[in-house]
């Protein structure tokens, strides 16, 4: 119905999205928002490739421990709160049965933070070459800015 | 003209450059672009009805911008009523729009 409108000209439906993320655990909401959005994209059959660098390499640290909430807060918050990495793990596994998500952790950033050897299963330790491939192969690129 | 998505995840009053984002959206609309401004995380704070931030979302909407606010972010901040010009939305809606494709996405 928008065929004559250049703004709504026929577009190829997006099949692959690249997300560039630099925000780590417990800094801001960005990782959670990214994962919420990634889940919605995967549900639509869209492949999601995340390139995590700087503090975002800590998101996939498998050594993160779930802590119990203080007794007074348990009625509100529940028994404990899961680290963001749990959500990533679930999305990586969900991709086994539909659109897939690849999660690449920058090797230099991971080495600098001592988490290279602590990456969870499914997370790929990679390089800027992976970012190049993700961006080059994406129909849509979303770069989440760092806040300083 | 292009189809553009601007995502605002920061409180527009938190940083000195915040108010420039609505101005950017307004200018892009005036140039004829089809612009969606999606407010998420602290970006929804300025969209609270009666907020003192002074962002004229109704005027921005009049320029043709589609201004949407994420429901989860609103609920997390106790925002029940949105400023004129802002429509309630969610990440399903955003994902649908991304699936249709944008010429560019700016995430602030």
For chain A, what is the HEC assignment? Answer: CCCCCHHHCCCCCCCEEEEEECCCCCCCCHHHHHHHHHHHHHHCCCEEEEEECHHHHHCCECCCCCEECCHHHHHHHCCEECCHHHHHHHHHHHHHHCCCEEEEEEHHHHHHCCCHHHECCCEEEECHHHHHHHHHHCCEEEECCCCC
Indicate if the pLDDT at residue B23 is higher than 80.
Answer: yes
Overall size of chain A counted in residues: 148
Of the partner residues B91, B96, B107, the one whose CB lies closest to the CB of residue A145:
B107
- Could you tell me the two tokens for B70? 């994420």
Q: What's the complex ipTM?
A: 0.93
Residue A138 included in any domain: yes
Q: A135: domain CATH number?
A: 3.40.1260.10
Domain that residue A92 falls in: 20-62+78-143
Q: Are A81 and A67 in contact (CB under 8 A)?
A: yes
Closest chain B residue by Cα to residue A21 = B107
Chain B residues with CB under 8 Å of A142 CB are 105, 107
Reading the block at residue A42, the tokens are: 């995967």
Question: Is a pLDDT exceeding 80 seen at residue A3?
Answer: no
The CATH number of whichever domain residue B93 belongs to comes to 3.40.1260.10
Asked whether the beta carbons of residue B91 and residue A141 sit closer than 8 angstroms, the reply is no
Question: CB distance from A135 to chain B under 8 Å?
Answer: no
Residue A11 lies in a domain: no
Q: Average pLDDT for residues A88-96, to the nearest whole number?
A: 84
> Chain A, 24-43: which have a CB under 8 Å from a chain B CB?
28-30, 33, 36-37, 40-41, 43
Range of the domain at B101: 3-107
**Helix H or strand E encompassing B92:** helix B91-100
pLDDT of amino acid A81: 78
Q: How many domains is chain A built from?
A: 1
Higher pLDDT, A1 or A74: A74
Domain membership of residue A12 (yes or no) is no
Residue A12 forms contact with B (CB below 8 Å): yes
Rounded to the nearest angstrom, the minimum Cα separation between B60 and chain A is: 19
Mind listing the pLDDT tens digit for each residue in A69-83?
A: 888 888 887 887 788
Whether residue A132 lies inside any domain: the answer is yes
What is the DSSP code (8-state) at residue B81? S
A98 pLDDT tier (thresholds 50, 70, 90): confident
Is residue A3 domain-resident? no
Asked if the structure places residue A119 within a domain, the reply is: yes
Domain count, chain B: 1
């Amino acid at each position: 119905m928008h065929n004559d409108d250049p703004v709504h000209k026929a577009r190829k439906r997006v099949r692959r999205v690249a997300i560039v993320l630099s925000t780590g655990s417990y800094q801001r909401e960005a990782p959670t928002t990214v994962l919420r959005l990634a889940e919605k994209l995967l549900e639509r059959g869209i492949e999601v490739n995340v390139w995590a660098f700087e503090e975002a390499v800590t998101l996939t640290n498998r050594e993160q421990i779930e802590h119990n909430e203080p007794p007074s807060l348990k009625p509100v918050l529940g028994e404990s709160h899961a680290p963001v990495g749990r959500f990533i793990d679930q999305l990586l596994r969900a991709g086994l049965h539909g659109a897939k998500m690849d999660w690449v952790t920058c090797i230099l950033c991971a080495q600098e933070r001592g988490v290279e050897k602590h990456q969870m299963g499914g997370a790929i330790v990679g390089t800027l070459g992976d970012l190049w491939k993700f961006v080059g192969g994406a129909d849509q690129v979303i770069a989440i800015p760092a806040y300083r | 003209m292009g189809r553009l998505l601007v995502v605002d995840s920061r409180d527009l009053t938190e940083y000195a450059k915040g108010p420039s984002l609505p101005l950017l959206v307004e200018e892009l609309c005036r140039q004829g672009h089809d612009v969606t401004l999606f407010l998420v995380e602290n970006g929804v704070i300025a969209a609270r009805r009666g907020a003192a931030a002074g962002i004229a979302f109704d005027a921005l909407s009049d320029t043709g911008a589609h201004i949407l606010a994420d429901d989860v972010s609103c609920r997390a901040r106790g925002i029940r009523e949105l400023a004129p010009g802002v429509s309630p939305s969610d990440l399903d809606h955003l994902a649908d729009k991304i699936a249709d494709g944008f010429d560019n996405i700016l995430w602030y």
